[in-house]
Structure 1
Amino acid sequence: MISEPEMEDTGDPGEPLDLVSHTDRPPLLGRFTAKPWMWALGAVVVTSAVWAGVLKGTGYGQTAQPDLHGYHIDGSNPCTNLNLQPLAGSLAVTGFVQSTPVITRTAVLDRASCELIGMAGGSRGWRTTYTMSVTVDLHKKTDPKAEFDARSLAEIAVPGGDQGLVFSYMDDHEVTTHPDGIGDRANMTTGVYRQSLSVRHGGAVFSLTLFGFSERDDTNGDRSMLLPPIAKTSAFRKDLVPTVRSLMDALSQPPSS
């Protein structure tokens, strides 16, 4: 009689068989379980990227470059007789000598500085040397308005009822006023011996200073006569504004080819 094969004892018959799991691999749910801090970090990265795109699109945090109004420094000497009229003509000198201009260019600032020097014959054996000193700054990244305007905030009363900032230069008392009609802002410092005008127009700043020195001409005159070494220049004060305007016009012209 053929009997049914004997079943081999496989263990506790009450324990169910696991037919789908693999003892050498973790459960499916466990394989996809991430740590909470990883999910938070991912959310921060995504949020930051979204905001960066939004801010970039709106231009938030970006500073507009200063308007240079077409001014340029092309390497030529700004200190010419023509550029510094009418002041150069009013000095009545016999001729001018140009200094070699110092020109620097960087990513944020172009600068030119130079001097135009002339000698005028005086009476009784004295001659006067006048120096017109020019500086031009072209700010290409940062607006110079705050720095420029801060120089003239502290104003005090001066004799005559005018408002200005009083300086001391040698034995001279200088007064700063602000003429209208040139650039965005102008600071004019004047005294007996030194005359100076600075003008801001957008990102461009123009500065002109006039001073003079008297010296004895031993070949012509009375050596016994004495004059102060610092020459009076107050008579040329009226020429400052039109001269700086002439300089600004010259540096706004298209470069010569």
Structure 2
Amino acid sequence: MITDPELGGEWQTEALEPARSADRAPVRERATGGPGPRSWLWALAGAVVASAVWGGGLYAFGAPTIEPETSYRASKNLCQDFKARALSGITGDMHKKKPVNLESDHPAVYAARCGLENAGKDGVASDFYVVAQVALHKKTDPAAEFDAPDLRTLAYTGGVRTAAVPDLGERAVMNVMSGDTWLILKVLDGGVVFTVEAGASTFAETNGRPATDVDAVQAAMIEDMRELLSVLKE
């Protein structure tokens, strides 16, 4: 059985292994080489709806369900619960611009989403985007689908590197897209799936934001995710 490499210690990205081509569905190449930050920032809202609809379909048709255990509360305003302190230390205050907060309450899944972006030196332009999402599954255990590939990452023509993240929830994985400017951290803990995505036009110095590297961004995402789990823990 092949398992994901672990992302530990100093979060070295050299430990990340390329995703196997056999796992990738054939897709049509994008002329731009991959989605930009804003494209995935808003695409996640569709994922919230799709998850609720799918779970609701099973529920409506009377499929056998086993209610998963959870020790987390539903977030009524994820942008208040998700502080993004560590990421803000890299990007500038992620709450300076008005956050985008969404909730979807369904008999099968309660989902909450928060979209954040930084403010550039001029106070307007943004070059760093973060999306946090929490999905509380009420009827079925999400563990069975946790390893299912994200269609957006399958469609990313630049390639994806994946690593397991130890000591975070029941199970956690970090996906890094080619170019190292789009990262997805996903955590499973009981009946809840947590996701934090971070993306930037560049990690080089820009708009008054100092240069950083993918290792620092990964470490900040993990720290902010750990704080979110603690805040929502009942």
Normalization by structure 2: what TM-score?
Answer: 0.58
- Pairs within 5 Å for 1:80-229: 80=80, 83-93=83-93, 96-121=96-121, 129-151=127-149, 169=156, 172-191=158-177, 192-213=180-201
* Compared CA separation, residues 211 and 114, structure 1 to 2 (3 A): same
2:221 is aligned to 240
Contact 1:194 1:211 in 2 (8 A): yes
C-alpha distance in 1, partners of 2:94/2:194? Answer: 27
C-alpha distance in 2, partners of 1:94/1:133? Answer: 11
Normalization by structure 1: what TM-score?
Answer: 0.53
C-alpha distance in 2, partners of 1:189/1:130? Answer: 17
* Compared CA separation, residues 202 and 94, structure 1 to 2 (3 A): closer
Residue 81 of structure 1, CA deviation: 8.5
Task: Decide which structure has greater strand share.
Answer: 1
Task: Provide the secondary structure at the position in 1 that maps to 2:100.
Answer: coil
**1:26-56 CA deviation, whole Å, 9 max, x = no partner?**
xxxxxxxxxxxxxxxxxxxxxxxxxxxxxxx
Residue 242 of structure 1, CA deviation: 1.4
Structure 1 gap segments, 5+ residues each: 1-60, 153-165, 215-219, 221-230
* Compared CA separation, residues 233 and 168, structure 1 to 2 (3 A): farther
Task: Return the structure number with greater relative CO, CA threshold 8 A, min gap 6.
Answer: 2
Larger Rg: 1
Alignment length, in residue pairs?
159
Residue 96 of structure 1, CA deviation: 2.2
Contact 1:193 1:232 in 2 (8 A): no
What amino acid does structure 2 have at the position aligned with 1:241? I
Task: Decide which structure has greater helix share.
Answer: 2
Percent of residue pairs bearing the same amino acid type: 25
C-alpha distance in 2, partners of 1:232/1:168? Answer: 27
C-alpha distance in 2, partners of 1:150/1:136? Answer: 17
> How large is the Cα RMSD of the aligned pairs?
3.3
Task: Provide the secondary structure at the position in 1 that maps to 2:118.
Answer: strand
Structure 2 gap segments, 5+ residues each: 1-62
Residue 250 (structure 1) aligned with residue 198 (structure 2): no
**1:47-99 CA deviation, whole Å, 9 max, x = no partner?**
xxxxxxxxxxxxxx9754111113322x22x2249622212222235862233
